[in-house]
Chain A
Amino acid sequence: DSGVTQTPKHLITATGQRVTLRCSPRSGDLSVYWYQQSLDQGLQFLIQYYNGEERAKGNILERFSAQQFPDLHSELNLSSLELGDSALYFCASSKRAGAVYNEQFFGPGTRLTVL
């Protein structure tokens, strides 16, 4: 158990809908990262927050947004869902923001299915 929690575990929804994925980082970690894992794209970085502020952006669609709250939990919002958004969404957390041996610990993921 990495100490990172994600809810829900599974989510099934329809095209055009909006969903919210939630992540609680490990105790003491200030940085939260969101990754998408799909068969064709592999594991891809979406966005990073550090202590409530956006730190880095990856290949995140404009339909997707995220935020980190004062208690450091984070939410990833996916809107106008398309079939291609079906994937595993992982949250990871780390103590610091940058690299330099900045170990990231991953949660169990949320499996999103868009029908």
Chain B
Amino acid sequence: QQQVKQSPQSLIVQKGGISIINCAYENTAFDYFPWYQQFPGKGPALLIAIRPDVSEKKEGRFTISFNKSAKQFSLHIMDSQPGDSATYFCAASNTGKLIFGQGTTLQVKP
């Protein structure tokens, strides 16, 4: 019930393309869904987050789509750039502690 499942494990996208990462959760008590970006040797950095009463949130090239009935949410990176190459983690929380997905390694080819 506490798991967050993330897919794909890895993703290769051409520069300018759209990167899509998906997550699914079981616990309907979760009420906060952030995405983190992590570069090698660095800590995870908060990218964008959403609450379940909102179906979509956009910040620049990054968009979260949220489907409460399906218990799924996804990250879309528009106009993907080589600088976006990193590992992305979805997470969910309802008590403060974050439950993370397994991560997606994104490579954007120039």
Contact B97 A108 (CB under 8 A): no
Q: A39: shortest Cβ distance to chain B, in Å?
A: 10
- Cα distance, A8 to B72, chains bound together (Å): 38
Q: Taking beta carbons and an 8 Å cutoff, which residues of A are in contact with B?
A: 2, 4, 31, 33, 35, 42-45, 48, 55-56, 58, 90, 92, 94, 96-109
* Interface SS, B side: loop
- How large, as a class, is the contact surface on chain B? 20 to 34
B96 contact set on A, CB distance < 8 A = 31, 33, 48, 55-56, 94, 96-99, 102
- Cα distance, A58 to B34, chains bound together (Å): 19
Q: B97: shortest Cβ distance to chain A, in Å?
A: 4
**Is B49 located at the chain interface by the 8 A CB criterion?**
yes
Contact B32 A56 (CB under 8 A): no
